[in-house]
Amino acid sequence: MLDVTAAAALPAASLSLVPASPQAAQLLAAAEALSPDIAAGRAVDARTLRAAMVAACGGSDAEGAWTWKDGYEACEAAQLLFLRRFGPAMRQRPRAAQLAMLAKLATLLPSQTRRSEESQALQQFSTPIGLGLIASVAAGVTPTDLVLEPSAGTGLLAIFAELAGATLVLNELAETRADLLAQLFPATSVTRHDAAFIDDHLDAGLRPTVVLMNPPFSAAAHVDGRVAEAALRHIGSALARLAEGGRLVAITGANLSPEAPRWRDGFARLQERGTVVFSAAIDGSVYARHGTTTETRLTVIDRVPAAAPTALPTSHGMAPDLATLLGWIEQDVPPRQAVAATFSSAVPGPRKAASPVLRRARPVARSLAPTSADAVRLAYETCDWGRRRAAGSAPASTSPTRCNRFGSRRLGRTRRRWCSPPPWPRSRHLAQATSPTYPPAWSDGACCPTPSSRR
């Protein structure tokens, strides 16, 4: 049996099956260099960030070795690494305490005051982590979900689906961000499609049960200038791909409201496929650290055709802060519908390494910490599917099996959640083998959960 704590001690980069793009590897190295500061609760100021970037990139920004936008990407990657490591402990606390911790984490990183041409053109304002948590709560993500993030950026929204134990499908158009995502989620294949047409591009068999998305609000690939309906296009295509009964949660500009006369027809068309069950605007201050104060909106759509597509729900007003938004969601978002589809065998794995200098993934187990209260661990045994595939064995769906059992007990029945080969590559949960503890610096107050705390 595998020693999970030993596996957890491996740095994320060493688990990668994907040869790093040089720039993504530098950003990840800078993120790892910032990690001790964040774990110690120390703010990363411009000097600290510059030092980490110079060390990772082998030169200064003045010499053209990196830009401040790169530095911000490294900071977001550092946030993600922190969440992966300490998120399991955070999730044991009440949600209000989780939000407080995320607020503290966000303030440790510099505000993003500088932009690049690409960040402007593709509207790369990453999802603030508090809002990412709330979106995942609204989606009701569970370990049985297949979650699509069609414009995944640096993964700050997707990480909450991972923490909930879901399987991920990630897409991102921008090259550097997609390369960085591939490094941060080494067991997940990252596609690079134009997500305005994600339904046309993904493998036919992929049926996500949840979509978490924060698309560009008014930018379209290869189009100069503003495209007002950009976000609605992204939502429409993602909704078309969602499994019947699945749930889509979108963060958009505040103006994309079901009540706005301009968007009524668009929402009515969406409602032929899905039902808008919640919509609320959010004050612009929530995005301030990401370099904008644009007001935003969180919309929840269940993939169940609306009884009367032109009847649109009344949205909430403007949530002044994330705590208010969370309260509204906990109170007003209905439970999820039953999902018809299950996982597809087409869940993409990591890109195959072409390079002989590939670092081999060590066999490692799925996280042993049950993520739902009624889950119970049955038995545990590992096998290295990645190695078998690499050796040219039969496709996963037809390979002879050894079981990796992790059962759940519901309503008194015990069922095996999956018996091999699992529908995703063997190394899917490499990154989740983490220790559910906090660094001491974070255990000093009401917002800072301790390992012994339970909800």
Residue 76 CB, nearest approach to ligand SAM (Å): 7
Residue 214 near ligand SAM by CB under 6 A: yes
Residue 173 near ligand SAM by CB under 6 A: yes
Distance CA 113, CA 292 (A): 9
Q: Which of 26, 127, 176, 367 binds ligand SAM (CB under 6 A)?
A: 127
Residue 41 CB, nearest approach to ligand SAM (Å): 23
Q: Identify which of residues 154 and 167 has a Cβ nearer to ligand SAM in the complex.
A: 154
Residue 181 CB, nearest approach to ligand SAM (Å): 9
Three-state SS at 192: coil
Q: Identify which of residues 219 and 347 has a Cβ nearer to ligand SAM in the complex.
A: 219
Distance CA 16, CA 165 (A): 19
Cα torsion angle, 332, 342, 412, 407, sign: negative
Question: Between β-strands 275-282 and 318-319, what pairing exists: parallel, antiparallel or unpaired?
Answer: parallel
Distance CA 433, CA 24 (A): 23
Residue 191 near ligand SAM by CB under 6 A: no
Q: Identify which of residues 253 and 421 has a Cβ nearer to ligand SAM in the complex.
A: 253
Residue 31 CB, nearest approach to ligand SAM (Å): 14
Three-state SS at 301: strand
Contact of 54 with 85, CB cutoff 8 Å:
no
392: left (phi > 0), else alpha (psi -120 to 50), else beta?
A: left
Stretch that binds ligand SAM, among 105-113, 170-178, 381-389, 433-441 (CB under 6 A): 170-178
H or E element at residue 322: helix 322-332
Distance CA 242, CA 163 (A): 21
Stretch that binds ligand SAM, among 168-176, 341-349, 356-364, 445-453 (CB under 6 A): 168-176
Residue 124 near ligand SAM by CB under 6 A: yes
Residue 282 CB, nearest approach to ligand SAM (Å): 13
Residue 188 near ligand SAM by CB under 6 A: no
* E-assigned strand segments in 303-357: 318-319
Residue 136 near ligand SAM by CB under 6 A: no
Residue 112 near ligand SAM by CB under 6 A: no
Question: Under 8 Å CB-to-CB from 231, ≥6 apart: which residues?
Answer: 215, 216, 217, 218, 250, 252, 253, 256
3-state secondary structure 75-129: HHHHHHHHHHHHHHHHCCCCHHHHHHHHHHHHHCCCCCCCCCHHHHHCCCCCCCH
| Total residues interacting with ligand SAM, rule: CB under 6 A | 23
Q: Identify which of residues 98 and 151 has a Cβ nearer to ligand SAM in the complex.
A: 151
The site string for ligand SAM over 307-346 (x = CB under 6 A, - otherwise) reads ----------------------------------------
Q: Which residues of this chain interact with ligand SAM, rule CB under 6 A?
A: 122-127, 151-154, 156-157, 172-174, 177, 194-196, 214, 216, 219, 221
